[in-house]
Amino acid sequence: MERERRKEEEMDIQEEKSKERKKYQRSGRREFKKEVRDEKMRGGKKTNEEREKEKRRRVERRELERWKKGEKRKRGNKEDRKGEKKKGVI
């Protein structure tokens, strides 16, 4: 009798835990996104990946603007079309 009662109590506890998990899974994603967004708004810590993404976005935006204006990509010393080494930026 005690074993059966213990098993029933354990089952009830597990059911309650699973319900809580399901609730968290539903609302948890939204909550997590809000927390992350709030951290970014405050200027909290950013990971290296986030910094790299931002840097890539900036570079892509710059290249797109240049392309719209009709400018060509600026090349460095060693990057010349003819392969000649030139000083400064073309």
pLDDT digits (tens, 9 = 90+) for 27-73: 666 666 776 777 667 666 677 888 888 889 998 988 888 888 876 66
Identify the band that residue 5 occupies on the pLDDT scale cut at 50, 70 and 90.
confident
Tell me, yes or no, whether 55 lies in a domain: yes
What is the model's pTM?
0.31
Domain that holds residue 65: 2-69
Number of domains in the chain: 1
Angle, CA of 4, 7 and 12, to the nearest 5° = 125
Q: What is the pLDDT of residue 65?
A: 85
Tell me, yes or no, whether 80 lies in a domain: no
Q: What is the pLDDT of residue 16?
A: 83
- Which residues, 6 or more positions from 75, have their beta carbon under 8 angstroms from its beta carbon? 81, 89, 90
Tell me, yes or no, whether 43 lies in a domain: yes
Identify the band that residue 80 occupies on the pLDDT scale cut at 50, 70 and 90.
low
Q: What is the pLDDT of residue 19?
A: 76
